[in-house]
Amino acid sequence: MTTNPLLPMGQRARQASYALLALGAAQKNALLGAIADALGEHEAAILAANEQDMALARDAGLSGAMLDRLLLTPERLAAIRADIGTVIALADPVGVDIDSRLLDNGMRLARRRIPLGVLGVIYEARPNVTVDVAVLALKTGNAAIMRGGKETLHSNRALLAAIHSALNAQDLPTDAVQLINSPDRALVTALLNLDSHIDMVIPRGGAGLHQLCKEQARMPVITGGIGICHMYIDRAADLTRALPLVENAKVQRPTVCNALDTLLVHQAVAAELLPQVAARLGPLGVTFKASPGALTLLGTAAEAAGEGDFDTEWLALVLGVKVVADVNEAIDHIRAHSSEHSESVITEDRRVADQFVAAINSAAVYVNASTRFTDGSQFGLGAEVAVSTQKLHARGPMGLEALTTYKWVGTGDYHARG
């Protein structure tokens, strides 16, 4: 068995996590404030490093969308710094007793929130994630080992230098935030095998990255981010009010995971609703992949749905449309095709709404609302670490609490078990 090349990094991160464990909320907030200041002081170096990355990316022929994700500007850096202020203002979940009881034998037993320890984060071309993750990890007393995309190497090094100067200024170990500074893909596997020193892995990227983590990680992984989202419009929906929800869910921001992918329509209202959907969304650029019953009702912007179209997260102005017999068929369709991210039922019929909510176990289930609400800020969490579509630990938008665990603390008077 060969030694994991990241083992020293993991050991240093674990040691650093012990130093973070001793910090109170005020000290952690002071650290976050120091990071925001350091990002300001290092601005010229950060922007210069980012320009190096941008030049390499342009030479490599990256798409405009990729280049835009990579770009840092003075305005974007200012926004990143402002976001740190938002995190500072959030309550610290660490140290809170979730519950506490006095056992029959007189021992007090509490469940106390503690940091997870060391987070592993694998992400792609957005350098803002580097700061984002570091700040959320430190706010909750966790160390982090990060692996950004190779396109962002120079930017990430410059951002890390600023973070390290803040850790130094607060007399804290710089090992609290470490970056895997190599594009070698074998190091991703090494990271996923380092279960002795990394307590949780958060992949922030596409389906391929999530699948890789599921297959290779030996520690818990928060998978998510893939949303094949459905809206079912019942025969008892107020169609006039439903139509703006379809538009909102599909058009407002089509490239994100909570955007609508498939519209399911009760057969009794399809003939009335679908021409209106086509008339309203077609001019906005939406095209439709339609089931046989929906095809003719949607007009020229529609084509017949092919195999796999109902299993696709579009991330674009494309909408699958299917006419269903009733809520039962809608539920069956969603169970067969959903990624369990966000689904919505639109109806005035209380029993249909209740049946839908009871039967659909996606991370977020809505009655008479757009799927677009599945978001940490919309849900009032203050910060969003990731959106989980798995079922353990945290579901849907993950706030600061999702970066903590708990321990049982039993306080006795020389209690022995009887």
Binding positions for a second copy, rule: CB under 8 A: 18, 21-22, 101, 103, 107, 109, 114-117, 195, 199-200, 214-215, 218-220, 238, 241-242, 244-245, 247-249, 252, 335, 346, 357-359, 361-370, 372-374, 378-380, 390-393, 395-397, 405-417
- As given in the structure block, the two tokens for residue 280 are 């309203």
R_g of the chain, CA atoms, integer Å: 24
Rounded Cα distance between 116 and 94, Å, is: 10
The nearest distance, CB 308 to a second copy, in angstroms, is 16
Tell me whether residue 58 or residue 350 sits nearer to a second copy (CB atom).
350
The nearest distance, CB 194 to a second copy, in angstroms, is 12
Question: Of 151, 169, 147, which Cα lies nearest the Cα of 32?
Answer: 169
Rounded Cα distance between 352 and 354, Å, is: 5
The nearest distance, CB 247 to a second copy, in angstroms, is 8
The nearest distance, CB 115 to a second copy, in angstroms, is 8
268 Cβ contact partners less than 8 Å away, ≥ 6 residues apart:
235
In the chain, how long is the greatest CA-to-CA distance? 79
Rounded Cα distance between 107 and 410, Å, is: 6
The nearest distance, CB 13 to a second copy, in angstroms, is 13
23 Cβ contact partners less than 8 Å away, ≥ 6 residues apart:
31, 141, 172
CA 360 to chain centre: 21
Rounded Cα distance between 337 and 135, Å, is: 36
Tell me whether residue 53 or residue 384 sits nearer to a second copy (CB atom).
384
Tell me whether residue 53 or residue 199 sits nearer to a second copy (CB atom).
199
CA angle 69, 38, 28 (to 5 degrees): 100
Tell me whether residue 125 or residue 273 sits nearer to a second copy (CB atom).
273
Rounded Cα distance between 411 and 207, Å, is: 46
Tell me whether residue 133 or residue 365 sits nearer to a second copy (CB atom).
365
The nearest distance, CB 6 to a second copy, in angstroms, is 17
**What DSSP assignment string belongs to 188-242?**
HHHHHH-TTT-SEEEEES-HHHHHHHHHH-SS-B--B----EEEEE-TTS-HHHH
The nearest distance, CB 24 to a second copy, in angstroms, is 11
330 close to 343: Cβ distance less than 8 angstroms: no
DSSP tag of 112: E
Q: Which residue has the tokens 């169970």?
A: 335
Tell me whether residue 248 or residue 276 sits nearer to a second copy (CB atom).
248
The nearest distance, CB 407 to a second copy, in angstroms, is 6
Strand, helix or coil for residue 152: helix
Tell me whether residue 182 or residue 211 sits nearer to a second copy (CB atom).
211
The nearest distance, CB 73 to a second copy, in angstroms, is 26
The nearest distance, CB 82 to a second copy, in angstroms, is 20
The nearest distance, CB 335 to a second copy, in angstroms, is 7
Tell me whether residue 62 or residue 369 sits nearer to a second copy (CB atom).
369
Q: Which residue has the tokens 């892995």?
A: 201
Burial class for 45, CB neighbours closer than 10 Å (0-12, 13-18, 19+): middle
Q: Kind and range of the H or E element at 290?
A: strand 287-290
Count other C-beta atoms under 10 Å from residue 109's C-beta. Answer: 15
Tell me whether residue 61 or residue 208 sits nearer to a second copy (CB atom).
208
Tell me whether residue 81 or residue 111 sits nearer to a second copy (CB atom).
111
CA atoms within 13 Å, Cβ hemisphere of 294: 27
Tell me whether residue 128 or residue 388 sits nearer to a second copy (CB atom).
388
